[in-house]
Amino acid sequence: MARGKLRVLLGAAPGVGKTYAMLDEGRRLLETGKDVVVAVVETHGRAATAAMLDGLEVVPRRAVNHRGVELTELDLDAVLARAPEVALVDELAHTDAPGGRHEKRWEDVAELLDAGITVISTVNIQHIESLNDVVEQITGIGQQETIPDSVLRAADQVEVIDLAPQALRDRLSEGLVYPAARVDAALSNYFRLGNLTALRELALLWLADEVDSALQTYRREHGIDSKWEARERVVVALTGGPEGETLLRRGARIAARSGGGELVAVHVVSDDGLRERHPGALAEQRALVEKLGGAYHEIVGSDIPAALVEFAKAVNATQLVIGVSRRSRLLAFLTGPGIGSTVIRASGDIDVHIVSHAAAGSAQLTLPRARGSLSVRRRVYGFVLAVVGGPLLSWLLWAVHTPDALTSDVLAFQLLVIVVALIGGIWPALFAAVLSGLTLDFLFLAPVYTITIAEPVHLLALLLYVVGAALVSFVVDQAARRSRAAQRSAAESDVLATVAGGVIRGEDAVHALVQRTREAFGLERVRLLDADGAEISHDAAPESEAVGPDVEKPVTVESVGERGTLELYGAELTASDRRVLQVIITQLNAALEHRELSDTASELGPLAETDRVRSALLAAVGHDLRRPLAAATAAVTSLRSHDVELSQGDRDALLATANDSLGNLDALVTNLLDVTRVQAGVLAVSLRRVEIEDLLPAALEELSAPPGSVALDVPDDTPAVMADPVLLQRVLVNLLANALRYSPRGIPPRLGVSVFGDEVQVRVADAGAGVPDDRKDAIFQPFQREGDTDNSTGIGLGLALSKGFVEGMGGTLAPEDTPGGGLTMVVALPGFSRANPTRTALHQEKGPR
């Protein structure tokens, strides 16, 4: 039986229309003659979704009793017995109730597929296992129900059901996704515009990655190595030379001009482990690749042109950027065609850009150094073997010599020369060759006991000895050179990995780099100084005494950009050590720059805040204190005046004005003191279990609000919060006062309470003009007013105090737009169960599915 096919409808968030699209596809297939059943569907009370079930056969669900609660689940056996062609299975990541055959619904679907049934299912991006932590960081809500990536990637077809974030929020506001009681909480939490935009991008990127992976698999299975220009992918070849930055920037411009092109940088490492260029330059170029938004790769290959072309074809590159050869014309003539010419011939239909740069033609033809790579000890051993082994071999051959043994004598001496070359290199081998040739001529060639080369063939034999020794010693010298260089390269890699590891493990970046520098090169001491000569960091070996700069001078001093110098005490560094040191210095410079930026930001933050508060105080005190003080002064002056005859009613009115003004002045001074305490962090907070509904009567009474002036929506099962009742009441009074001030006549403000996760949220909403997005942060600043016409207009201190009180109780205060217009202030406080984890949780709600 052929296995069924799986089609998955992927959504960025609940409500985008996955279930609706699944049912619509089922109806379409039914009209074409397919046998379609609805195995399980979750309508979530949405009328439009439920209406799509008309005309479709629905398999009855299986009832499960779990801890006294009756649940309904997919009846797998009933669907298998029905054996339709197509089964519609909603919510692929759903966890089945205990007692079923499988734990997860996707396992039920796998059994349906094995039975040859095609399945159309749905899933949200937050339920994909690899993205679960990313979604939690974005939304603040963790998902317990997840599906392995392998299950989704094994689907025959994955289709994104896309809906613009604002359109989804509009659907939510209209009550098309959740019931009205959950709309406000959903809009201000999971369904924020930023959250939905990020989730939408995640879904589209996941699908794009899946499409790219499928394309690569198809090309690999069908042996396709020609480029497919689905999108521009520009590969830049780096050698580690100075032209790297020029090539990268040119490649980035080519990718940008193509509209969303991709930049890939590649460096080919010799397969013998040797690095021909400075690692410091490659480190800087790698950092530049990351700044340009590209990807960096290192590959191994002995044939650089072939490795470049093979890599470009493997990543489906459309363009390849390489630099003009640094070889001079003479060197190019002597050594033949360079990498560029070879790459062009092998590139096929990949466009090759050869970019000129400042270092072009700078390489010169130089002779290799005559000094070999063998140690002095090995060369001494070679000479000793030649001096001792030559006479011993001559004595042995003379003892068994016969007139017909000349050939074996020659081969024996040749073997000696090869052994000496293997041990000591070229100079001991040449010495042994000359010595063996003279010995053969003196002892074994007629006339014996004389050094006479009477025959040309004898001279040829001596030359062959010398040539053989030179060739063997050259091979030995090259092998030793490569072996030592490979060991050196491995050691450098270990050093760089150790240096980077210290920073990655969370150590102080600057000190970690200084410490690893001393350890890597076996130094006695390393000091990092700033531009003024002051010590930033130092590290000394445990066994060495701490010596001052006046007693011991550094053997090496390196500049760390313009930010300081690095002093090294101990042994002198070799040239290869200095290459590695340049990489460390590059990282040190970056670490110092990061430290400077962090210090500057931490210094400017408090200063800016202090300056802002001081400016606000100076600007507002004259305004907010002058009005009530002036009114009280005018009233008292009029009462004391003897020039005007005042009636008893006039006197009562003036006394009332003075009383109200002094009361306003007292409230303002109290608020000023409260703001000072909040900003100084000395606000006295007494947290305890508080029932919100118990505070509302006192808050409304303090407002002198008539009945019906505030619409209340407080469910009976609202859990208690952990708060200071006095401060929380003042917060509610301030927020309700603002809402009453800005609400239009006939539309009372609304106070609602909802629960989201382990938080209790109080929403005070008005239907006024609202606050622009660019002003929402400013409304919490002291003395910031939306208008400046009278003493009762604007924001003043109320919201600043409210925010400080709420944060002092461990909660948050945030503004939102009221659906339909207006401003909603949301107070989020920890539920009493969260603050006291030992108690039984009063309320628990899962995140959106």
As a whole number of angstroms, the distance between CA 374 and CA 422 comes to 10
Structure tokens at 3: 């296995």
As a whole number of angstroms, the distance between CA 61 and CA 50 comes to 16
Kindly give the parts of the chain with pLDDT less than 50. Answer: 273-276, 334-335, 363-372, 502, 504-507, 545-551, 682, 786-795, 834-849
Looking at the chain, the domain(s) classified CATH 3.40.50.300 span 6-221
Ordered alpha helix ranges (H), 4-103: 18-31, 47-51, 76-82
Structure tokens at 596: 């400077």
pLDDT in tens, 295-329: 888 877 777 888 888 888 877 788 899 888 765 55
- Nearest of 273, 274, 354, 277 to residue 308 by alpha carbon: 354
- Nearest of 408, 406, 428, 409 to residue 417 by alpha carbon: 428
The amino acid occupying position 515 is Q
As a whole number of angstroms, the distance between CA 289 and CA 281 comes to 12
Looking at the chain, the domain(s) classified CATH 3.30.565.10 span 688-835
Ordered alpha helix ranges (H), 117-269: 132-139, 149-153, 165-173, 180-188, 193-221, 244-257
Q: Are 473 and 386 in contact (CB under 8 A)?
A: no
3-state secondary structure of 662: helix
Sheet holding 525-530, edge to edge: 535-540, 525-530, 564-569, 556-560
Ordered alpha helix ranges (H), 549-647: 575-640
Cα angle 648, 653, 654; round to 5:
100
Structure tokens at 164: 């613009």
Phi, psi of 431, deg, nearest 5: -60, -45
- Level-2 CATH architecture, domain 507-682: Orthogonal Bundle (1.10)
Topology annotation, domain 688-835? Heat Shock Protein 90 (3.30.565)
- Nearest of 492, 415, 412 to residue 444 by alpha carbon: 412
pTM, whole model, 2 decimals?
0.39
The amino acid occupying position 731 is V
SS3 content of the chain, % helix, strand, coil (to 5): 50, 15, 35
As a whole number of angstroms, the distance between CA 125 and CA 128 comes to 6
pLDDT in tens, 427-442: 887 788 778 777 877 7
Assign 3-class secondary structure to 744-808: CCCCCCEEEEEEECCEEEEEEECCCCCCCHHHCCHHHCCCECCCCCCCCCCCECHHHHHHHHHHH
Residue 455 Rama label (left phi>0; alpha psi -120 to 50; beta): beta
- Level-2 CATH architecture, domain 6-221: 3-Layer(aba) Sandwich (3.40)
Looking at the chain, the domain(s) classified CATH 3.40.50.620 span 233-355
Neighbour-count burial for 185-199, b at 16+ CB within 10 Å, e otherwise? bbbbbbbbeebbebb
As a whole number of angstroms, the distance between CA 442 and CA 729 comes to 119
Looking at the chain, the domain(s) classified CATH 1.10.287.130 span 507-682
The amino acid occupying position 119 is V
- Nearest of 671, 632, 669, 672 to residue 654 by alpha carbon: 632
pLDDT of residue 138: 80
pLDDT of residue 764: 92
At which residue do the structure tokens 């020029």 appear? 246
At which residue do the structure tokens 């409210």 appear? 802
DSSP secondary structure of 422-436 = HHH-HHHHHHHHHHH
Provide the CB-side half-sphere exposure for 825 (13 A, CA): 27
At which residue do the structure tokens 């799509």 appear? 52
Q: Are 120 and 88 in contact (CB under 8 A)?
A: yes
CATH classification for the domain delimited by 233-355, as one of 3.30.70.1350, 3.30.430.20, 3.40.50.620, 3.40.50.720: 3.40.50.620
Q: Is the peptide bond before 447 cis (omega within 30 degrees of 0)?
A: yes
As a whole number of angstroms, the distance between CA 757 and CA 844 comes to 6
At which residue do the structure tokens 């043994």 appear? 405
At which residue do the structure tokens 């039975």 appear? 115
Residue 789 Rama label (left phi>0; alpha psi -120 to 50; beta): alpha
pLDDT of residue 216: 61
